[in-house]
Structure 1
Amino acid sequence: MIKEENITTEATKTDNKQAIIEIKDLHKTFGKNNHVLKGVDFVVYKGEDLVVLGRSGSGKSVTIKCIVGLIQPDKGEINVFGENILELPKAELNEMRVKIGFLFQSGALYDSMIVRENLAFTLRKHKRDLKPEEVEKEVIEALDNVGLSEAIDKMPSELSGGMRKRIGLARTLILKPEIILYDEPTTGLDTITSREISELILDIKHKRKTTSIIITHDMACAKLTADRIIVLKEGKIQAEGTYEELEKSEDEWVRSFFE
């Protein structure tokens, strides 16, 4: 369904793996006493789908919003492709952001635009030299990639929750990002649609060779998509491992996610 692409990056190598994202000692406090992140450290390797679990308020979404600059951390480093994005000038940061796709919980579509216009708007914003026929071709291809080419002239209000998620993902994919950050991609969806979205995440990984962080409460999604899982507790990493390893954790709190 999705076309193969050769994506190359320059990143540090650790144990023969390329570290695409490196988070070091990340801290974030809101107000005076709401300490959301308290020294988070982790690495995401090239081609890996890393799932982040944690209770509400544990800092999962704040972490990935820091990676794309939607939230500024108080302390720490965020290295993406070997560059500390917290030190990049605005122009270079904007170039980096094009390589990072972000799928919001809601899909974040513009309600006043039909699907075609939603995708074309994103494309024109970043690739202004494209001709109208080239934009149309890219829009059709992106929709075909998520199996919704027939929705091209529909308004967001005409779409189901699962369709909105797919369109949101198509809009993310249209810029051909090397990294995709998924914020609760299956929340609010029924079991069957949730599995379809999870399978689409896997399809994207295998065909586009993307590197992803997936924030989720959906353990079925985590089991299907995760190469590795980290568990956040009160702003710190409590555990790390595969689904099977954490399912058998000696830590009762960690194990409770898998019961």
Structure 2
Amino acid sequence: MENNKNLPIRHDQLATGTSLIEFKNVYKSYGSNKVLNGISFTVKRGENLVILGKSGSGKSVAVKCLVGLTKVDKGEIFISGEDITKLNEEDLNRIRMKIGFLFQNGALYDSMTVRENLIFTLQHNQKNLTEQEMESAVKEALQNVGLEEAIDQLPAELSGGMRKRIGLARALIIKPEIIIYDEPTGGLDTITAREIIELIRNIGLKYNTSSIIITHDLTCAKYTGDRVIVLKDGLIKAEGSYKDIENNADDWVKSFFEK
């Protein structure tokens, strides 16, 4: 990414709070395919954790386990001190309302305007809001991503970068404690990717959210992550700051940085 010297690296300011998310010895298989093989890690309040890994390494399955979309075979996953592996669907939904998602493709409803997309998400998470309260929440979310002028547009009228930012506004509108970013800079040009990186950083600082960022983009990992873990075959191969990972002596980890 060009002109990135003005972006301080977040891992120089590591979060020191209590753990909001904790994986303890988590296993998950699909038939004979062992996807997670006893992974353990934490995410502190206000911390951005980047998960690096090649296709099939277990990144997406770890996130599905985190939100209870797939059941673990063994192990525990704590969110705010509650083991979500032992919760029923009603209690899982309560936990999910603390989590915002930025999907790789934005995942907006094509037939709805930007306003309607955001209100749909807000109504799903918060009942009995007045029209004025919803409109205020929509405008605040759009201000956070710099797209107030897009409020009445349809997704098809927006660029890929704008759709990604609207997707982020939709994640923010529920005021989540946790945000999960799935390839947030995937498919974007260099300038737009830089804008998304800055938004991720600024949102974390403004709202003290805890984030898990799944990415193949090393620049995104470098400038958004307080800490990075590298998955290989469902195991944590390396963990530390971006600089730690970049200087890791393991040949497989080094392969991420080969041009």
Structure-1-length-normalised TM-score: 0.91
Equivalence for 1:63:
62
Secondary structure class of the residue paired with 1:196: helix
Alignment partners' CA distance in 1, 2:248 and 2:85: 35
1:80 aligns with 2:76: no
Equivalence for 2:90:
91
Equivalence for 1:209:
208
Corresponding letter in the other structure for 1:21 = I
Q: Per the alignment, do residues 48 and 16 of structure 1 end up closer, same or farther by CA in structure 2, a change over 3 Å counting?
A: closer
Aligned-pair distance for 1:57? 0.8
Secondary structure class of the residue paired with 2:137: helix
Alignment partners' CA distance in 1, 2:106 and 2:72: 24
Alignment partners' CA distance in 2, 1:169 and 1:196: 12
Q: Per the alignment, do residues 156 and 16 of structure 1 end up closer, same or farther by CA in structure 2, a change over 3 Å counting?
A: closer
Alignment partners' CA distance in 2, 1:236 and 1:135: 43
Alignment partners' CA distance in 2, 1:55 and 1:225: 19
Q: Per the alignment, do residues 39 and 141 of structure 1 end up closer, same or farther by CA in structure 2, a change over 3 Å counting?
A: same
Secondary structure class of the residue paired with 1:166: helix
Alignment partners' CA distance in 2, 1:70 and 1:160: 30
Q: What are the ranges of 5 or more consecutive residues in structure 2 without an aligned counterpart?
A: 1-14
Q: What are the ranges of 5 or more consecutive residues in structure 1 without an aligned counterpart?
A: 1-14
Corresponding letter in the other structure for 1:212 = S
Equivalence for 1:26:
26
Computed over aligned residues only, the root mean square deviation of the Cα atoms, in angstroms, reads 1.3
Equivalence for 1:218:
217
Query: 1:95-148, CA deviations, whole angstroms, 9 ceiling, x for partnerless residues?
Result: 111111121111111111111000001111122211111111111111111001
Q: What percent of counterpart residues are identical?
A: 61
Equivalence for 1:158:
157
Aligned-pair distance for 1:33? 2.0
User: Any conservation in 1 of the 2:16–2:44 contact (CA below 8 Å)?
Assistant: no
Corresponding letter in the other structure for 2:39 = V
User: Any conservation in 1 of the 2:17–2:46 contact (CA below 8 Å)?
Assistant: no
Alignment partners' CA distance in 2, 1:27 and 1:190: 37
Alignment partners' CA distance in 1, 2:197 and 2:34: 31
Aligned-pair distance for 1:16? 6.2
Alignment partners' CA distance in 2, 1:52 and 1:137: 34
